[in-house]
Structures are given as C-alpha cells and as structure tokens.
Amino acid sequence: MHRERKARRTLLAMSLMLAALFLVSFSLGRYGVPPFTVVKILCTRFAELFAGKGALARTWTREMETVVINIRLPRILMACLVGCSLSAAGAAFQGVFHNPMASPDILGASSGAAFGAALAILLGASTRMITLSAFCFGLLTVGLVMLVARRAPGARLINLILAGIMLSSLFNAGTSYIKLVADPSNQLPQITYWLMGSLSGTRLSDIPLAFLPMAIGLAPLFLLRWQLNLLSLGESEARALGVNTGRVRLALLLSSTLVTAASVSFSGMIGWVGLVVPHLCRKVLGSDHRYLMPGSFLCGAAFLLLVDDVSRNLLTVEIPIGILTALVGAPFFLYLIMRKEEKL
C-alpha cells in the first residue's frame, strides 16, 4: 500500500546515501585521492580477487593504493559495521523493552567489555587479546545479567534492567580500580584512549573477525523484525497473539548482545549511536520494525561513517570518535525530542 511503498523508497534513498558516503570517505584525508581514482582502485582490487594479481594496468601511484586499501578501507568498513551493529542493537532493545529510551548498553555489554579491555591492557596483552578479552567480558556480563534476572522473582523485563544497572556499575568500579593501579606512563593512557572509543587502529585483518559475530547477530535481528512489533506491545499481549515471548526475546537479546560486544571490543566505547539512530529512523520511517530495522542498519552505518570522517579530518590530531558521537548525538537527540510531530 501507499505507506509501504513510501517506506521502501526511503530505504532505497538511505542505501544510496550510504553508498555515496562510502565512496566519498575514501577521498577525505590529508593524502588526497580523487574519487574517480578511488573507484578504479577498488574495482581493480576486486577484479584481481578473481583474475589474479597484475591482471589490470595501474594508472595511479603506489601511495594512493596503500592509503585507499590498507588505511582507509579497513577503517571505513569498520565504521559501517560498528554503526550498523550498534543502531540495530539499539532498535532491538527499544522494541524488546518497549521503551524508546533503551540503548545497547542497558544490559551491561559495554561496561563488561570495557572492564575486559582494561584488564587485558593491565596484563600487557596484545591488541588482538585486548579485543578478545573485551568481547568475552561483554558476553559474560550479559550472561550474568540474564541469570540474575531469571532467578529473581517479579517481572522479567524490570529484573533485566535492574540487574543490568547493577552489574554495569560493578564492572565500572572494576575498571576504575584497574585505572588506579595501571602504570600511568603507558597503560593508563591506553585504557583511557580505549574507553573513549576509536577506529584508528583498525587493520584489514580485523574486518573478517568483526564481521563474523556481527553477521551472526544481525541476521536474526533482521529476520525477527515483525516479531519485534508484537513484542513492543508488551509481554501479555504478544503472548496472546501467539508469540513465544520467552524464546523470541531471548533470541533478540542474545543477538543484540553479540553485535554490541563485537562492536565495542573492536572500536571501544562509542555511545549514542544506538539511541540516536533508531530515533532518527523512527521519525523518518515510522515505528514499524519491518522498515525501522533495515533503516537502522543503513543509517547507523552512514552515521558512524560520517562521524568518523569528521573525527579524522576536523583537526590535525584525531578526535576520539566516542567523544564526537556524544557531541553530535546529545544535541541532535535533544532536537529530536523537542520536535513534536511524529511520523506514522
């Protein structure tokens, strides 16, 4: 019908916007590469995957190719992946808790991951181990939260939120203690920098490692988007409509946790994306998760890519992206809630 056709058109426009931003992002930076050359480099590299190396002639410098493929490509891809994951998780949490103020860190995934990362840095672990530790602690925290909520009497959703707050603050205390005992000459700055969130250290080899858990988590979020509509009506109504609420909710929470933990462990703490982007999409697409979920995928990727472009180009020294998302996100969010009209 009319509304659905319009929503589909909006999603198409969002895809085009993301694609354009994706290409433009390669040209941004102190080492300029013309956009057309970027396309040629990417196409050549892609073709070489099948045709073998050296099959096509190069009309650009070696530096250009290094910048595009080794420096900018991993970072751009990671920004898209992390943005997509965080905003999808945010949309899912908001639906599951039928509360538009829920965000992906509500169950403690980010606090746990932060603790894991700080602990690994304190123990002098390698970058890869820091990521792994953050990922595992993120999952562990949410696992604990779910166990506590299952054991406690009373409404499950409230228990989940309370247990999330409690365990988050426990892990935050742990992180603070680690910062206290960390070596202030090298470990402490590293922890602080990690906590602020940044995509600057992304390597091409990180991409598949991040992509795997994210894809595993994003697929159910996408597929269960109609069930999310039902869950957002509240537990008893969803059940009456035939939803196995316990199982569907668990699947959604686990998937969201997986993508959140994966994002945070590769990029550090990047706040606001999961809150702001689904809100923005709701204003444009409406609340129906059939369109809101894919919209959050696309806009999340575009939003974080844009913010990351700003973070690496605005000043000569890079601004950690976590600071920027808050700087952009908070006022933008204020604007959104001040605007009265809401789309269907």
Partner 1 sequence: MSLTVENLSFSYGKHPVLHELTFTAEAGELLAILGPNGVGKTTLFKCVMGQERKYSGRIAADGADLAALTPRERAHRVAAIPQAHPLSFRYSAFDMVLMGTSHTLSPFNLPGEKERAAARDAMARVNIGHLAERPFDHLSGGEQQLVFIARALAQQAKILLMDEPTASLDYGNRLHVLGVVRDLSRAGYTVLLSTHDPQHALWYADRALALKAGRMLALGTPRKIVTADLLQQLYGRRIDLVETEQGPVLVPKEAD
From candidates 105, 288, 308, 309, binder to partner 1 by CB under 8 A:
288
- Which strand (E) or helix (H) includes residue 149? helix 127-151
From candidates 25, 85, 87, 245, binder to partner 1 by CB under 8 A:
245
337 binds partner 1 per the rule CB under 8 A: no
Provide the mask over 213-232, with x wherever binding to partner 1 is found by CB under 8 A and - wherever it is not.
Answer: ----------xxxxx-xx-x
290 binds partner 1 per the rule CB under 8 A: yes
From candidates 49, 180, 242, 317, binder to partner 1 by CB under 8 A:
242
248 binds partner 1 per the rule CB under 8 A: yes
Q: Contact, 33 vs 67, CB < 8 A?
A: yes
Interface segment toward partner 1; rule CB under 8 A; list 31-39, 200-208, 237-245, 311-319:
237-245
Distance CA 227, CA 330 (A): 30
Nearest to 130 by CA among 140, 119, 139, 138: 119
For partner 1, the closer of residues 43 and 240 by Cβ is 240
Q: Which residue has the tokens 């316990």?
A: 246
Nearest to 289 by CA among 27, 114, 88: 88
Residues 6+ apart with CB under 8 A from 250: 146
241 binds partner 1 per the rule CB under 8 A: yes
Q: How far is the CB of 236 from partner 1 (least distance, A)?
A: 6
Residue 110: helix, strand or coil by DSSP? helix
Interface segment toward partner 1; rule CB under 8 A; list 124-132, 176-184, 241-249, 313-321:
241-249
What one-character DSSP code corresponds to residue 105? Answer: G
Q: How far is the CB of 238 from partner 1 (least distance, A)?
A: 9
Number of shown-chain residues binding partner 1 (CB under 8 A) = 34
Q: Contact, 167 vs 282, CB < 8 A?
A: no
30-59 residues in contact with partner 1 (CB under 8 A) are none
Nearest to 84 by CA among 39, 143, 6, 22: 22
Q: How far is the CB of 16 from partner 1 (least distance, A)?
A: 23
Residue 205: helix, strand or coil by DSSP? coil
For partner 1, the closer of residues 75 and 289 by Cβ is 289
Q: How far is the CB of 201 from partner 1 (least distance, A)?
A: 37
296 binds partner 1 per the rule CB under 8 A: no
99-118 residues in contact with partner 1 (CB under 8 A) are 99-100
Q: How far is the CB of 282 from partner 1 (least distance, A)?
A: 8
From candidates 2, 5, 30, 62, binder to partner 1 by CB under 8 A:
2
Distance CA 257, CA 96 (A): 13
Distance CA 37, CA 47 (A): 15
Residues 6+ apart with CB under 8 A from 21: 302, 305, 306, 309
Nearest to 118 by CA among 325, 273, 265: 265
122-141 residues in contact with partner 1 (CB under 8 A) are none
Rg, the chain, Cα only:
21
Query: Interface with partner 1 by CB under 8 A: which residues?
Result: 1-3, 95, 98-100, 223-227, 229-230, 232-233, 236-237, 239-245, 248, 282, 286-288, 290, 342-344
